[in-house]
Amino acid sequence: MRKRTSFILTFGMLATIVSVTVAQVGFESSTRSPFNKASTSKHNTMTFFSRGGQKAEGKKAAALPVKRKIKNYHQQLFGTPAPRQPYKKTFSKYPSVRTSRNKVHHASHLTPPPAATTSKIKHAEFLRKPTTPKSSGIRQVAGSNKELRNPFEPFKPETTRKPVAPKRQSTIRRPPVRYKNKIQKTSVEKKHDPFGHSHEKTFRHQAKPTSPPFKRKKAGLPVELTGLPVDLDHNSEKNTKLETVQISVGWEKKSVINVGQECELDLIVKNESEVIARNLAVDAYFPTTVRLTKAIPIPREERDHISWAIAALKPGETKRIKVTLIPMKPGDLAVKAFVRLTGTSARLFAVNEPMLKLNVTGSHRVMVGESAAHTIVVSNPGTGVTSNIQVEAILSKGLQHSKGARVSLNIGSLNPGESRKIHLALTAIDGGLQQIDVTTRSGVSLKRSASSQVMVVAPSLVLNVTGPKLRYKGRNAIYKVTVTNSGKVPTNNVRVMHKIPEGFQFIQADKSGKLNKQSRLVDWFIGQLPVGKSITLNVKLKATELGVFPHYVSVVSEEGAKATSHVQTKVDGTASLVLEIVDLDDPVEVGSETAYEVRVKNDGSKAANQVQITCELPKDVQLIGAKGPTQSFAEKNQVIFQKIPSLAPGKTALFRIHVKGNAEGNRRFRVRLQSKNIGEPLLFEEMTKFYGE
C-alpha cells in the first residue's frame, strides 16, 4: 500500500504528496517546495483530521486517546477461524491507504509544476489555509481497490443506474418450463466509491417476472416465484386458471448502526399476489464482521446462514422478522435475504362421483330344513367408476351357508350404470325370525348396507314334567310327562326320553316305554303329533337311596323341534331306634354280682344322630362297673354314657352295667334313651328278683 503513495508528475512539477493515514490521532507537517519560495511561510501547514471527525494539529492530536482493536466474533458466529485480512483503519466514511503513524513521505521532481488548476479536493477530509496557493491542491488517494485511476484526472461524479422495471408478459397457452424456486433478486444498496467503483451487485434469474417487484425505501431483495400446473390439459384450458405467487423481501433499519453497539434490522416479507403462499423459507446471510445476538422469531441455524420457515402467507400479508446484531467493524454492512417457496397452481377439473346401490331379495317364509336362498344386487348409479367393491353378508344362527356365518367376496369394479348379481345359497336350520345383514363398500368413504328377514316356520314342542318332591326311602314315586305341539305345523317322529337318577329304581312305564339299563333312559316313541295336541306319559320308580335327585326329560322331533324339562325329588329316611334290656341272672342271690346288657339298634332308613342312654339303679343295688361304646360316669344312683355321634341304619350299640344286690326283693332297672331324631326321650324297665338264703 505504501508503494502507491508517491507518484512522479509527467509535467516536471516538483510537488510533495503527503499521504498520511491516521488510525488513532492526527499530526502536523510542513513542506517546502523548491519552486515556490512562499512555501517557507509558516502558513504552509496542513492540518489533518483524526478518526471520528475530530481535528487536531501537531502534538495536540498525538495526545488524543487511542481506541482498542475491535474483537472479531467470526469464530462464535460461523464456528471457523477468521480469515487473515489486514485491519483497515479509516479517517472518514471511505477507506484510505494504511500508513504508519506520524510519518510523512515526500516526492520531488526537477520539472517545474504547471499552472494551478481549479480542481477541488474530493473524498478527503482536508483543510486548506487561506494562504495556500490553489496549485498545491492535494487529493487523498487510498483504498484497497486494485483498479485505481489517476488521482490528478478530473473527477466525474458517479451516476447511479436505476433498475429497470420488468415488463409484464401474458401467460402463453403452453406448459411453461418448470423451474423450482424461481428467485429474482434485483435490489441492493448502492454507495459511491472514491475511486469510481460501484459496490452494486445484481442477481437475476433467467425467468422473466410477471409483475414488478415490491419497492421499499430501504434496500431489499424482491423475490418473484411462479407456481406452475403439474398436469396441463390442452383440451380443457378454459377450465384451468393459473395463479402467480409474488413474494417481496426487504431490509429496514430500525436503529442507529454503530460499531460495537447493538442495532436492530427488520426483515420484511410480503405477499404481493392474490393467492396464499405456502411453505416459505427465508434465508438470511450476514458478513463475518457482525455478531448476531437475537432474532424474533427464533431462526434455524444452517452452515453459513440462518433461516426461518413460514407456513402460509395470505394475500397482502406482511411478516416482519426482527434481527439484533453488533457490527464489529466500520464500513459498509451488506446483508442478504432470499425467499424460497413451493409452486402454486389452480385448475378446474370435472369431478366424477362413483356411487353404490345395494338391494337384497329372497324368500320371506320357509320351513325348517328348506332353502332360504337370497339374491344380492350391487349397482353403480353414479358418474364415476366404482372400484374394489367388497360385499359382506352376516347370517343369524338359524341360517346356514357353506362358508360360515360371515360370507365375504370381492366383485371388482362397476362402471357407471352397471350392476352385478350375487346368489347367496342358504338353508334354514332353526325356527323363528332370521336376518341377513349385507354391507358393500368401496374404499373408505363409500359404503351401503341392507338387510332381509326370513320367517322360518318350525314345530314348537312344549314339555311338562310332574312328580313328587319328597319320598322316603323304599317308597314308590310316579312321574308324568306331558308333550304339547304348540307350533303351526305337525311334528313327525317325536321321541321322549326320561333319565332315571341313581337313587331310584325303574318299576314300569306305560305306552310302550322301555328302559335302557346301560344309559338308564326310559324311551317313548310317539310318532306324529298334530298341531295343538298333547300326550301324557307315566313312569313308576322306587326310591332306593337318600339324597336329592333330579329327573331330566327331553323331547325331539324330525324337524328339529326340541324341548327339555326336569323335576327334582328329595329322598329322605327315618331313624327307628329300638332299645332292649337283658338281665344276665334272674333271680340272683343277695350279695352276688350280676350284669345288665342294654342294646340300642337303628332299624330305620336314616342314621340316628346324638344317641345317648342314662341308666338308673334301683334301691339297695350297688354299681360295680359299666362298659359301652362311649365313656360313662356315675352320679348318685345313675350311670350316664356320653352321646354317640351317629348310629347308622341297622347298626347296634351295646352297653353293659355290672351291679350287686344288698337286700332281698324285686328291683326295677330303668334306662332312658335320647336322640336328635326323636322328639322325646324313651323309657325302658327291667325287673330283677334278689333273694336271701
Residue-level pLDDT at 416:
93
Q: Coil, strand or helix: which one is 691?
A: strand
Distance CA 309, CA 312 (A): 9
Distance CA 222, CA 246 (A): 9
For 113-168, the pLDDT digits (tens) are 444 444 343 333 334 444 444 444 334 344 444 444 444 445 444 444 444 444 44
Cell of 558: 324330525
Is the pTM for the entire model greater than 0.75? no
Ordered DSSP codes for 323-361: EEEEE-SSS----EEEEE-----EE---------EEEEE
Domain borders along the chain are: 1-157, 223-347, 357-457, 461-572, 577-691
Mean pLDDT estimate for the chain: 72
Could you identify the residue written with the cell 324337524?
Answer: 559
What CATH fold (topology level) applies to the domain 357-457? Immunoglobulin-like (2.60.40)
Residue-level pLDDT at 44:
39
Indicate whether 397 pLDDT > 70. yes
Residue-level pLDDT at 678:
83
Could you identify the residue written with the cell 305337525?
Answer: 490
Residue-level pLDDT at 460:
86
How much is the average pLDDT of 456-466?
A: 88
Q: 573-610 burial by CB neighbour count: b if 16+ within 10 A, else e? A: bebebebebebeeeebebeeebbbebebbbebbbbbee
Indicate whether 322 pLDDT > 60. yes
Distance CA 278, CA 520 (A): 87
Residue-level pLDDT at 342:
60
Residue-level pLDDT at 243:
63
How much is the average pLDDT of 27-48?
A: 39
Q: Coil, strand or helix: which one is 511?
A: coil
For 226-284, the pLDDT digits (tens) are 333 333 343 344 444 456 788 899 999 888 888 888 999 999 999 998 888 888 899 99
Q: Read off φ and ψ for residue 678, nearest 5 degrees.
A: -115, 150
Strand partners, 477: 541
Nearest to 656 by CA among 577, 546, 580: 580
Nearest to 428 by CA among 486, 365, 491: 365
Of the candidate ranges 60-64, 412-416, 642-646, the one whose mean pLDDT is the lowest: 60-64
Fold agreement between 223-347 and 577-691: yes
Residue-level pLDDT at 588:
86
For 39-76, the pLDDT digits (tens) are 333 443 343 333 344 444 444 443 444 444 444 544 55
- Does domain 223-347 bear CATH number 1.10.10.10? no
Higher pLDDT, 356 or 9: 356
For 178-221, the pLDDT digits (tens) are 434 433 333 333 333 433 343 333 333 333 444 444 444 333 33
Residue-level pLDDT at 300:
86
- Give the whole-number percent of the chain exceeding pLDDT 70: 64
How much is the average pLDDT of 316-329?
A: 91
Please give the single-letter amino acid code of residue 231. Answer: D
Residue-level pLDDT at 431:
80
Nearest to 319 by CA among 290, 341, 344, 335: 341
Residue-level pLDDT at 531:
87
What CATH fold (topology level) applies to the domain 577-691? Immunoglobulin-like (2.60.40)
How much is the average pLDDT of 429-446?
A: 89
How much is the average pLDDT of 77-99?
A: 46
How much is the average pLDDT of 372-393?
A: 93
- Give the whole-number percent of the chain exceeding pLDDT 90: 30
CATH number of 461-572: 2.60.40.10
Residue-level pLDDT at 211:
42
Q: How confident is the model at residue 305 (pLDDT cuts 50, 70, 90)?
A: confident
